Structure 1
Amino acid sequence: MPRRIRSSILETRTARLKLAPQRKPYWITVAPGISLGYRRNAGPGAWNVRAADGAGGNWIKSFALADDREDADGATVLDFWQAADKAKQLARGTDADAGRPSTVDEALTDYAADLAVRGASAGNANHPRHHLTPGLLSKPVSMLTVKEMQRWRNDLVVGGIRAATVNRMGKSLKAALNLAASHDDRITNAKAWTVGLAALPEDDDTESNIVLSDDQRRDVVTCAYAISAEFGIYVEVHAATGARSGQIALLDVGDLHLGKEPRLLVPSSLKGRNRRTRTRKPMPITASLARRLKALAAGRGASEPLLLMNSQERWKTNKHRWPFAAAAKAARLPEGATIYALRHTAITRALLAGAPVRLVASSFDTSVAMIERTYSRFIADHGDAQMRRALFDIDATVEGNVISMR
């Protein structure tokens, strides 16, 4: 029979009320690696659990009031022995109601599984994991603070990672932590990541803001075809549609519509908190691209992938990085250009061509607010010709109606 936990200072309310109030709890060990703490307050005290996190640290959680002023009810007010049992259950993850608090590592794992179920890339969850310290990964989400989240973000920048990359990792980490909070009502410290991982200012010359000329787009597509036919058509579809890599990877043979006005039905992403259903929106393509895609898809069913890697598998969103870097170098694109520059270029060119902002936002699966926030400041850099047509020139002459100046 296990030995009953005893403590002369915590067992009874009489003994506990003699303790001096202090910020730190009075601790006793109730099992290996598990301690029960009592924090003496002006009113009833509070029970706390402290458990080892497996990485040289520990986590602490307050879970109930002590029976200092009223009798224990076994739920929100606990006596000493009830608190000791509850502390062990919480630390071991055997509590039926609460369970062990989720760690950051577990939150990222759950987020990756959620992304996979929704047809999105699990890489968004794995990217920040590679840059988190063991201490942060093993820390319960409910114990995160603004200061440590902010320190982690700032250290990445100091270490040479660009602000745009840090912001992308921050978005993924925040999404994982928000998902954990939605599953556990005890996680009430969302301020830790909403404030601590606030977006950093990004330089205008990041890779996502590179706008390519038509010649540069032709060159990089040509260089991609030189690498392989599969990679060439993949990059050409990127350039033609401006879609994200994740959307292009989901294209099926049935999404190709031929005829006088050929088009691709591009699957939407599931970006946005309230988006749960994937839709498909038509994107016009040239007749020549349509013919190449038709020949490529010959013999395959409508539900089979339209674009295949060399391995004859559906494209994965992270498989284009190294070959595109080689194609970009061969095409002499600006330094730092990634495949995302093709999307940025397509959106910028559509706006410069006079397409309504709402139509551009809908066609490229984004929002009007995002278009205005991200692209309006770059339009002026590439719209000189359009603006020059509207210039007023007092010295200009109008044929048949010449006005002489004094």
Structure 2
Amino acid sequence: MARAPKVTSDLSKRNYRLGLPLAKKPIWQALGDGISIGYRRCEGTGRWIARKANGKGGFNEGVVGLADDYEDADGSGVLSFAQASAKAFNWAKEDRTVARKAPLTLDEALNAYERDLKVRGGDYGNVSRVRSHLSEKLMKTSVTDLTVDMLKTWRDGLADKLAAATVNRTTTPIKAALNMAADADQGVTITSRAAWEIGLKTLGDAESSRNVILSDAVVGKLVKAAYSQSLAFGLLVEVLAVTGSRYSQVAALKVADLQNGTADPRLMIPVSNKGKGQKAARSTPVPIPAALAKRLKAAAEGIGPTGVLLQKPGGGAWAKSDHSRPFARAVKAAGLKPAEVEPYQIEEITAYALRHSSIVRMALKGVPLRLVAALHDTSVTMIERTYSRDIASVADAVARASMLDLGAIETTEAGNALLGAGEEVTALPRVEGQCRHGHSYAEFPPYRNSKGSVVCAECARIRTRTAKAAKKRGAA
């Protein structure tokens, strides 16, 4: 026979209920005929739970509604004690019983989220990357047992060894998986999301990503060094540099994606799994030089239309990370000097720098950001967020062309006095051209430092930012 539920006569009192501690298990009051009404105290509004003996020594349970803790009862979604009790009897009579399920674990929530991403065409690799940071103990913890302290401790542990921006990217799939689990549960067992909403709160001090932007000359050296390793790797790197596409997109190219029948050849770049929801287009036409199209056509000789366009030296498609080590060798073989890549370090250059450089190159040449975004399978919002520092000169040039310039203005003696007695205001004469890193002196007015050298203001700002970041990493 089922054990009699704990009885209390105060559940009908709102103040009493709100005075109860937060708990995963409800407080029960028997209503008769093996039926009980329970109240579960939550972070927000509490829940009314109906319970019925199943004749096998256990109970079946079901949520009948929200308690009138903060809102007046409406008899439908928000119920008073009396309304919830009546609904519990109706629930039992209609046999709308719900057998208690085993608690969903974090591991199971991630599995469900991974399946959902696969169905929607999302990047389910995000889930695999998250798993490498989770302990077995945490993976086996049920979602209902997760606490703010538990998840916050785990997040802060990541922050000790990873950049804040990386920590935020790692916690995002976990929050998405837990939210999906809570949506599916509909409040039956998962009654609060506070554990991950608070415990995995985004770190506000995350530094913006450090995008390595390379000059066309440096990109050319890298492509040449790639070709010195093999024709196959050279083609891969040149396509990455010319299109600015992601490695995963370029590796997925088919022979049929090369459109070389006209004077304006292009590649139909497959869309990526980045972003939310389904994308309307399956590929994006990206123009390429005729010389590159000719090399690609020759390399694809004898391969069918559905075959892989860019293949490894030994044959077969380029798989994940297959390019990493060869590209590192290309960077080393290119013989780059530190001055050519300032303010970055040569060790920072990866294949993704080709994408960064392509986006910034187009933006600085006046290509509309909407078109730049379309060609690179991203959004204007993401470009503005990620490359705002690098393309600020474009907006500056547009604004400068329409600004009010009154030229020199003669001031009165009273006005001159505001500068201070004996104070002299001097400025560098207008300097034409650009610095060795491509920053226009017209857009970034230079100044003379204590050694008498003319310094580009933008270069100085980047060096200062780099030094601060290095100092922060050293302190950590």
Pairing of 1:155-166 with structure 2 (within 5 A): 155-158=157-160, 160-166=161-167
Corresponding residue of 1:154: 156
The separation in 1 between residues aligned to 2:27 and 2:54, in whole angstroms, is 10
Q: 1:288 aligns with which of 286, 291, 295?
A: 291
Corresponding residue of 1:316: 319
Residues 46-68 of structure 1 show CA distances to partners (whole Å, capped at 9, x for unaligned) of: 9xxxxxxxxxxxxx954x77452
Q: Give the 3 Å change call, closer, same or farther, for CA 248–145 of structure 1 in structure 2.
A: farther
Indicate the SS of the match to 1:68.
Answer: strand
The separation in 2 between residues aligned to 1:178 and 1:111, in whole angstroms, is 10
Indicate the SS of the match to 1:266.
Answer: strand
Q: Give the 3 Å change call, closer, same or farther, for CA 227–271 of structure 1 in structure 2.
A: same
C-alpha deviation, 1:285, in angstroms: 0.7
Pairing of 1:312-351 with structure 2 (within 5 A): 312-331=315-334, 332=336, 334=345, 335-351=347-363
Indicate the SS of the match to 1:169.
Answer: helix
Q: Give the 3 Å change call, closer, same or farther, for CA 148–124 of structure 1 in structure 2.
A: same
When the two structures are superposed, what TM-score results if normalisation uses the length of structure 1? 0.70
Indicate the SS of the match to 1:164.
Answer: helix
Kept in 2, the 8 Å contact 1:121–1:317? The answer is no
Corresponding residue of 1:241: 243
Between the aligned residues of both structures, percent identity stands at 39
Kept in 1, the 8 Å contact 2:164–2:205? The answer is yes
The separation in 1 between residues aligned to 2:266 and 2:252, in whole angstroms, is 15
Matched, 1:367 2:379: yes
The separation in 2 between residues aligned to 1:307 and 1:255, in whole angstroms, is 11
Corresponding residue of 1:12: 4
- Structure number with larger C-alpha Rg: 2
Q: 1:108 aligns with which of 107, 110, 115?
A: 110
The separation in 2 between residues aligned to 1:220 and 1:388, in whole angstroms, is 36
Q: Give the 3 Å change call, closer, same or farther, for CA 183–271 of structure 1 in structure 2.
A: farther
Q: Give the 3 Å change call, closer, same or farther, for CA 194–67 of structure 1 in structure 2.
A: closer
Kept in 1, the 8 Å contact 2:123–2:274? The answer is no
Kept in 2, the 8 Å contact 1:65–1:77? The answer is no
> What do you get for the CA RMSD once the two structures are aligned?
3.9
Give the letter for the 1:318 counterpart: S
C-alpha deviation, 1:150, in angstroms: 3.1
Kept in 2, the 8 Å contact 1:220–1:328? The answer is yes
Q: Give the 3 Å change call, closer, same or farther, for CA 151–256 of structure 1 in structure 2.
A: same
When the two structures are superposed, what TM-score results if normalisation uses the length of structure 2? 0.61
Indicate the SS of the match to 1:378.
Answer: coil
Q: Give the 3 Å change call, closer, same or farther, for CA 235–150 of structure 1 in structure 2.
A: farther
Corresponding residue of 2:202: 198
Q: 1:358 aligns with which of 360, 370, 373?
A: 370
Matched, 1:218 2:210: no
The separation in 1 between residues aligned to 2:55 and 2:27, in whole angstroms, is 13
The separation in 2 between residues aligned to 1:280 and 1:273, in whole angstroms, is 16
Kept in 2, the 8 Å contact 1:65–1:78? The answer is no
Equivalent pairs, count: 340
Kept in 2, the 8 Å contact 1:253–1:301? The answer is yes
C-alpha deviation, 1:312, in angstroms: 2.7
Kept in 2, the 8 Å contact 1:270–1:278? The answer is no
The separation in 2 between residues aligned to 1:164 and 1:18, in whole angstroms, is 49
Indicate the SS of the match to 2:110.
Answer: helix
Structure 2: 5+ residue stretches without partners: 37-48, 62-96, 409-428, 431-476
C-alpha deviation, 1:121, in angstroms: 5.0
The separation in 1 between residues aligned to 2:332 and 2:287, in whole angstroms, is 29
